[in-house]
Structure 1
Amino acid sequence: MTTNETTGSPARLDYARTVPKVFRAMIALDAAAREGLDPALVELVQMRTSQLNKCAYCLDMHTKDARKAGESDERIYLLPVWPEAPAGVYGERERAALALAEAIARVGDGVTDAVYARAAEHFAEAELGQLISVCFTVNAWNRLNVATRNLPGAA
């Protein structure tokens, strides 16, 4: 069993080994959700959702993947405060996607008509379906990794 050096908390479960069929299904769902979307946008959405859900494992992994996809340090650093970021840091399409991702992550607050309409202005129907799929998939991964205490740096 691995231990988190910062918190001293042990990892709880090797999910992929324990329930491989479910894990493979999650991998397939994740891959299907991303289809047709800009990889950099997907990583921004996944990083922001992981920040909100306090999933260190996913945040670490998606930050590394965002850098590989060409994201700048400025955009990564400003992501927690994206609505206040200077004009031009994030485009309107990205802002619409991030607002939708935040609303989906904060499921108790619901997705307002305004947030949905804003996303629908910037994404064709099929793309919007894919974006919603990315949002609920990363939320599922966050919950899985928080529950099993998957450790950052392993990805």
Structure 2
Amino acid sequence: MTTDASTPAPSRPARIDFARSAPKAFKSLIGFDAAAREGMDPALVELVQIRSSQLNGCAYCLHMHTSDARKAGESEERLHMVAVWRDASQFFTARERAALALAESVTLLPAGGVPDDVYAEAASHFDAEELGRLLALIFAINTWNRIAIATAKIPGTDDRA
């Protein structure tokens, strides 16, 4: 079934508000997320979060992070290319491509884990501390995606200040 902008999405039974239902876990995740982002290029942060959200099918997070990227000055052109970044590599730096490849591998976690070549490429663009923060960022967005999907968060309803 497809819907257009004028057709309301099917209603779902109410689910918990994770922030209210598990406040300690929620606050801990916010702290983890903030620590992961510390010192990282904001554009790179958003690209990684967008790609992981695309792969996880998290419309809520995808809407939030594309909006954040636009507010931070990211171009529409690059935002449209994130999903096909391998075929549009000229839109992204080698460092961004390495981060996107790592984000895909950690998000999809193939049998045998993250391939050595993907990890090595990321390690060639990020020092050990940066790589640790990049991995933490990928872990965080995957957790946020799962929270948003499991609790049926509605895209466009982000109420962050």
> TM-score, normalised on structure 1?
0.93
Q: Conserved in 2, the CA contact under 8 Å of 1:105 and 1:139?
A: yes
Q: CA deviation at 1:68?
A: 1.3
CA displacement at 1:10 relative to structure 2: 3.6
Q: 1:86 to 1:35 in 2, by over 3 A?
A: closer
Asked if structure 2 preserves the Cα contact closer than 8 Å seen for 1:11 and 1:150, the reply is no
- Cα drift, residue 7 of structure 1: 3.0
Structure 2 counterpart of 1:90, from 79, 89, 92: 92
Find 2:131's aligned residue among 128, 131, 135: 128
Q: C-alpha separation between the residues in 2 aligned to 1:39 and 1:48?
A: 14
* Amino acid corresponding to residue 84 of structure 2 in structure 1: V
Looking at structure 2, the residues matched to 27 and 86 of structure 1 have their Cα atoms a distance apart, in angstroms, of 32
- 1:119 counterpart SS class: helix
> Could you tell me which residue of structure 2 aligns to residue 47 of structure 1?
50
Structure 2 counterpart of 1:16, from 5, 13, 19: 19
Structure 1 residues 6 and 29, CA gap change in structure 2 (3 angstroms): same
Q: Deviations over 1:51-89 (max 9, x none)?
A: 0000111001000011111110000001100000052x1
Match of 1:151 among 138, 154, 160: 154
The residue that corresponds to 1:29 in the other structure is 32
Tell me the residue number matched to 1:100: 102
| CA pair 11-122 structure 1, distance change in 2 beyond 3 A | farther
Amino acid at match of 2:71: K
Aligned residue among 63, 79, 83 for 1:80: 83
- The aligned counterpart of 2:122 is 119
State the secondary structure of the residue aligned to 1:105.
helix
Residues matched between the structures, number: 150
Residue identity in the other structure for 2:123: A
Structure 1: 5+ residue runs without aligned partners? none
Structure 1 residues 115 and 86, CA gap change in structure 2 (3 angstroms)? closer
CA RMSD after TM alignment: 1.1
Moved more, 10-19 or 98-107: 10-19
Structure 1 runs (4+) deviating above 4 angstroms are: none
* Percent identical: 57
